[in-house]
């Protein structure tokens, strides 16, 4: 690589827009924003000199579903995000360079854009055996991750893997796959969970950062509030059926055909924070519940270890045998009930016996 | 009107007796002692009523009734059940809070369910005695004006701790619908720092319900049994506030 830093202006020119049109755009923008005549030249200057935000996209233990989702973004189109908005300097899955050439870009970006670039991480590092379960460019991924994180401006944790651990961290987690916020603790991390996250949510987060030059507002768990502050359930189009008390009881019953609520079929919509029921998937075509299947809660922490996707009540494994809260509660209540009854019986017998004793004494 | 005039004259002598009882620790030798003040009794029955509603509606939220027929817009079954649950939950929370406040101003019996004198050897000895009494190993129970030490332990864990847990997790779950800008989320959102997936909070809240079911069973059985077997009144005391001793 080694090319001069690409600015927004050079991208605009590359897309066939003349310098004259560019200046017209700057003047028009300044006028419409109500800024003075000097502002037009300042805007032009900024676009000519401000570099596009360099993004390094790394892959740890993952399945590439995040990348698959990302490249299907419709608003904005992924080509606009990758080719115009950001400068995707490194992504070993989709970049042309390979081997030493590719690895050289990492060092170059780190040196040239120290504290300026965004590190996007898909997947997570396994920590067991010194990180030997994920070797990337001859080194454990965890080392590469720490190295690149050191000089990054901010880090995006793509998907459930980077955010929570996902299936490779499922019990007993032999490779000790660890979400990145447990490995990197000194940098702001934006979690964009989902398995995969919604394409538009991914490009939306990238667009926000490049447009405003700052990170979006995050919630308590480090997720962007604009996409993760409400549950699937809160905006589900089947919600009226939930409130009415109309539920699918079997996958092939009349209620399923009528599109009733999938609550009883174990839909995790009521405990899952994501934008599926508003943004939807594949350019807004559909989302799991609309297709007749409950939400599996793929953007939630530990969703892979919470028992069946089709149970309403979560199975609890801490008690040795797998049972849900009602089964455990009923056994406990039954045992205590039996104990109470037995205790009452013994009390009654004792009381009778003592009464007879008293009667004997009196006579 | 007549009633209102006549009453103070009737209750006047009682009031002085009450004041004396509240000051005096030992009730031995007195036939009745005023133990549970009106706010304590009101809180007890409001909480009891709320908890029953919360258990029934809570169970139905976890395991909903069979589907209803007709248009969704014509039905609101789940909505009403959830409304009853949230309303009863907030009533419980308010009266629980009121009960805590009363512990500061009420008599010393009103404080009993909020602490355990775990550092006192005598306390544990008496707990042991009560256990032995319940295990039919003691012939005679001891007499207490308020809760006996075992009952105090049961009330502290079974009621105070469990209900506090249910109120905290309940408001946290409620904040999911109320939104992250709501006061419920600001006050109780930290629950999701302990269990990031609210599915776990649901499960714990559900287990808490069963813990309370067990507590209620033991509580009612113990109250009925003590009322019959022990040397003091129990059930009527929570209505009149007065504890009768009989020997």
Tell me, what's the pLDDT at B30? 53
Residue of A nearest to B201 (CA): A271
Q: Whole-angstrom Cα distance, residue B215 to residue B238? A: 17
Please enumerate in sequence order all residues whose Cβ is within 8 A of that of B153, keeping only pairs 6 or more positions apart, or say none. B116, B127
Please enumerate in sequence order all residues whose Cβ is within 8 A of that of A295, keeping only pairs 6 or more positions apart, or say none. A232, A262, A267, A268, A269, A272, A276, A288, A289
Predicted complex ipTM = 0.85
Measured between its terminal Cα atoms, the distance across chain B in Å is: 40
Q: pLDDT tens digit string along B56-101?
A: 999 999 999 999 999 999 999 999 999 999 999 999 999 999 999 9
φ/ψ of A319, rounded to 5, equals: -95, 15
| Closest by Cα among B161, B32, B141, B43 to B91 | B43
Q: Whole-angstrom Cα distance, residue A29 to residue A23? A: 10
State the best of B141, B198, B217 to mutate against chain A, taking most chain A CBs within 10 Å: B198
The answer, yes or no, to whether residue A198 has pLDDT greater than 80, is yes
What is the arithmetic mean of pLDDT over B16-33? 52
Please say whether the beta carbons of A220 and B193 come within 8 A: yes
B136 contacts in A (CB within 8 Å)?
346-347, 350
Work out the burial of residue B147: count CB atoms within 10 Å of its CB; fewer than 13 is exposed, 13-18 middle, 19 or more buried: middle
Tell me, what's the pLDDT at A22? 87
Residue of A nearest to B218 (CA): A340
Tokens representing A322 are 């797998």
* Partner-chain contact A330 B203, CB within 8 Å: no
For residue A351, the distance in angstroms to the closest alpha carbon of chain B comes to: 8
Q: Of the candidates B65, B134, B189, which has its C-beta nearest A220's C-beta? A: B189
* Partner-chain contact A247 B67, CB within 8 Å: yes
The answer, yes or no, to whether residue B22 has pLDDT greater than 80, is no
B81 contacts in A (CB within 8 Å)?
245
Say how many residues make up chain A.
Answer: 363
The answer, yes or no, to whether residue B2 has pLDDT greater than 80, is no
Q: Whole-angstrom Cα distance, residue B139 to residue B145? A: 20
Q: pLDDT tens digit string along A240-296?
A: 999 999 999 999 999 999 999 999 999 999 999 999 999 999 988 999 999 999 999
pTM of the model: 0.85
Please say whether the beta carbons of B146 and B35 come within 8 A: yes
Tokens representing A57 are 């996209």
B59 contacts in A (CB within 8 Å)?
326
Tell me, what's the pLDDT at B227? 85
Q: Where are the alpha helices (DSSP H) in A164-259?
A: 199-212, 225-228, 239-244, 254-258
Residue A88 bridge partners (DSSP): A55
* Partner-chain contact B206 A264, CB within 8 Å: no
pLDDT-derived band at A5 (thresholds 50, 70, 90) equals low
Q: In the sheet that A154-158 helps form, which strands lie side by side, from edge to edge?
A: A86-91, A53-59, A118-122, A154-158, A189-192
Q: Whole-angstrom Cα distance, residue B27 to residue B145? A: 6
What is the arithmetic mean of pLDDT over A226-245? 95
State the best of A243, A249, A299 to mutate against chain B, taking most chain B CBs within 10 Å: A243
Q: pLDDT tens digit string along B155-185?
A: 999 999 999 999 999 999 999 999 988 999 9
Q: Of the candidates A246, A326, A333, which has its C-beta nearest B214's C-beta? A: A333
Please enumerate in sequence order all residues whose Cβ is within 8 A of that of B213, keeping only pairs 6 or more positions apart, or say none. A329, A333, B55
pLDDT-derived band at B3 (thresholds 50, 70, 90) equals very low
Q: Whole-angstrom Cα distance, residue B222 to residue B240? A: 19
B64 contacts in A (CB within 8 Å)?
245, 247, 263-264
Q: Whole-angstrom Cα distance, residue A337 to residue A339? A: 5
Tell me, what's the pLDDT at A86? 83
Tell me, what's the pLDDT at B17? 44
Residue of A nearest to B188 (CA): A220
Tell me, what's the pLDDT at A8? 81
What is the arithmetic mean of pLDDT over A286-307? 94
Tell me, what's the pLDDT at B1? 30
Say how many residues make up chain B.
Answer: 247
For residue A299, the Cα-to-chain-centroid distance in whole angstroms is 5
């Amino acid at each position: 690589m080694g090319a001069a830093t690409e600015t927004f202006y050079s991208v605009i020119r590359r897309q066939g827009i003349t310098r004259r049109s560019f200046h017209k755009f700057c003047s028009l923008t300044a006028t419409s924003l109500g800024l003075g005549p000097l502002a037009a030249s300042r805007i032009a200057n900024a676009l000519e000199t401000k570099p596009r935000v360099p993004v390094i996209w790394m892959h740890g233990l993952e399945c590439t579903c995040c990348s698959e989702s990302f490249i299907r973004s419709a608003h904005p189109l992924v080509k606009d995000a990758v080719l115009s908005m950001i400068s995707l300097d490194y992504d070993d899955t989709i970049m042309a360079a390979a081997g030493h050439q590719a690895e050289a870009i990492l060092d170059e970006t780190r040196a040239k854009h120290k504290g300026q670039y965004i590190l996007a991480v898909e997947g997570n590092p396994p920590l067991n055996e010194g990180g030997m379960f994920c070797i990337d460019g001859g080194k454990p991924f965890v080392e590469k991750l720490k190295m690149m994180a050191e000089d990054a401006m901010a880090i995006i944790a793509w998907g459930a893997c980077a955010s929570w651990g996902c299936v490779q961290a499922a019990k007993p987690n032999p490779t000790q796959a660890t979400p990145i916020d447990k490995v990197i603790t000194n940098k702001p991390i934006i979690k964009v969970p989902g398995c995969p996250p919604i394409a538009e949510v991914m490009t939306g987060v990238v667009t926000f950062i490049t447009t405003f030059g700052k990170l979006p507002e995050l919630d308590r768990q480090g997720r962007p509030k604009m996409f993760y502050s409400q549950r699937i359930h809160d905006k589900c189009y089947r919600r009226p059926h939930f409130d009415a008390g109309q539920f699918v009881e079997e996958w092939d019953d009349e209620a399923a055909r009528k599109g009733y609520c999938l609550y009883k079929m174990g839909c995790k919509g009521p405990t899952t924070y994501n934008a599926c029921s508003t943004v939807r998937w594949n350019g807004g075509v559909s989302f799991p519940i609309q297709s007749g299947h409950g939400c599996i809660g793929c953007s939630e922490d530990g969703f892979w270890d919470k028992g069946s996707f089709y149970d309403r009540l979560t199975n609890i494994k801490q008690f040795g045998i797998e049972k849900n809260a009602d089964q455990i509660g009923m056994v406990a209540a039954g045992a205590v009930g039996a104990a109470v009854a037995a205790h009452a019986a013994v009390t009654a017998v004792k009381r009778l016996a003592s009464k007879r004793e008293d009667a004997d004494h009196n006579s | 009107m007549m009633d209102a005039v006549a009453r103070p004259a009737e209750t006047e002598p009682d009031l002085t007796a009450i004041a004396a009882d509240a000051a005096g620790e030992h009730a031995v030798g007195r036939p009745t002692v005023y133990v549970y003040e009106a706010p304590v009794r009101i809180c007890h029955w409001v909480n009891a009523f709320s908890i029953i509603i919360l258990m029934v509606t809570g169970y139905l939220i976890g395991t909903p009734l069979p589907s209803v027929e007709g248009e969704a817009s014509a039905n609101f079954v789940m909505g009403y059940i959830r409304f009853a649950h949230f309303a009863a939950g907030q009533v419980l929370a308010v009266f629980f809070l009121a009960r805590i406040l009363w512990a500061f101003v009420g008599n010393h019996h009103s404080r009993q369910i909020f602490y355990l004198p775990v550092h006192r050897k005598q306390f544990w000895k008496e707990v042991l005695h009560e256990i032995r009494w319940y295990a039919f190993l003691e012939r005679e129970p001891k007499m207490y004006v308020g809760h006996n030490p075992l009952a105090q332990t049961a009330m502290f864990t079974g009621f105070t701790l469990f209900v506090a847990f249910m109120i905290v997790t309940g408001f946290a779950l409620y904040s999911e619908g109320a939104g992250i800008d709501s006061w419920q989320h600001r006050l109780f959102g930290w629950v999701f720092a302990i269990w990031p997936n609210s599915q776990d909070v649901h499960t714990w809240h559900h287990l808490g319900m069963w813990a309370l079911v067990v507590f209620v069973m033991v509580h009612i059985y113990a109250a009925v049994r003590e009322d019959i077997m022990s040397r003091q009144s129990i059930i009527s005391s929570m209505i009149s506030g007065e504890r009768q001793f009989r020997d």
